[in-house]
Amino acid sequence: MEEQSIPIGMLLQKAAKIRAHILEMVAEAKSGHPGGSLSAVEILVSLFFYKMRHDPKRPDWPDRDRFVLSKGHAAPVLFSTLAEAGYLPTSELKTLRKINSRLQGHPDHRVPGVEFPGGSLGIGLSAAIGMALAGKVDKKDYRVYALLGDGEMDEGETWEAAMAAPKFKLDNLTAIIDRNGIQQDGLTEQIMPMEPVGYKWKAFNWHVLEVDGFDFRQVIDALEKAENMRNRPTVIIAHTVKGKGVSFMEWDPAYHGKAPDKDTVRKLVKTMLEE
């Protein structure tokens, strides 16, 4: 039933536009993190254009759902999504990482729609817990979503937070792990093996779901299941590919933090938007 109402066409279109923005803004900035931005596109699109209750005209609306980008280096995907949603003009995206711009290398509070200044890894889930706790205290029904990188699971604080959320029965909290398998120095399973990821979260008493992070139906279905779970937080392990959508970037750790040149991007974007 739910599936039929998912506007897949619109979501696909948004995803293509956002991918193009990411490539263009990173190329313009000559630095930034395209790989981990491209892997998270469908996750953000599912949230901002389907699942989340939010209003770009009222970024401070107390009853809004909250999205915390814990993997703050993926700022380009957040800024592009916020721009497509109407929080800021898309023309501003080219100011990313430039002096006097509010679009910093990592997201901060100057940008409407940014809920938390992610950047130093490991903090976002804790902050999301704080927001979810406040929601419980105030008896509000908003939901809190936190997107974590898989490399971020190396951080001890992630597991401090993983222990705390089930203690407080935060069923209004959904963590999503962008499981793209690559961190800055290489493959996650070589740098710091983290499998079995699902079992780890299960052992911490989370409701665990695994999805293909590029399949809108799967992502949205998991988000719905998370919402229906009572007394437990949900973690969605979204299997993705770093650099998704750009053949030479996919699975290449070099594109964790490297910008492609403008000419290449121009050709890529042309193909992308035509498809």
Q: What residue ranges bind another protein (CB under 8 A)?
A: 62, 68, 108-109, 115-117, 119-120, 122-138, 156-157, 160-161, 163-164, 168
Taking the least distance from each CB to another protein, the nearer of 161 and 268 is 161
Least Å from the CB of residue 72 to another protein: 9
Least Å from the CB of residue 120 to another protein: 4
Residue 169 one-letter amino acid: K
Taking the least distance from each CB to another protein, the nearer of 118 and 213 is 118
Concatenated DSSP letters for 93-108? GGGTT-TT-S--SS--
Taking the least distance from each CB to another protein, the nearer of 62 and 89 is 62
> What's the DSSP call for residue 48?
I
Taking the least distance from each CB to another protein, the nearer of 23 and 129 is 129
Measure the CA–CA gap between 57 and 267, rounded to whole angstroms: 34
Q: Say if residue 200 is exposed, middle or buried (CB neighbours under 10 Å; 0-12, 13-18, 19+).
A: middle
Taking the least distance from each CB to another protein, the nearer of 117 and 181 is 117
Could you tell me the CA-to-CA distances from 101 to 1, 7, 85, 94, 247 in Å, in that order?
Answer: 44, 34, 19, 10, 31
Classify 179 as helix, strand or coil: strand
Least Å from the CB of residue 56 to another protein: 18
Measure the CA–CA gap between 77 and 40, rounded to whole angstroms: 7
Least Å from the CB of residue 155 to another protein: 9
Least Å from the CB of residue 183 to another protein: 18
Could you tell me the CA-to-CA distances from 274 to 13, 152, 267, 270 in Å, in that order?
Answer: 10, 35, 11, 6
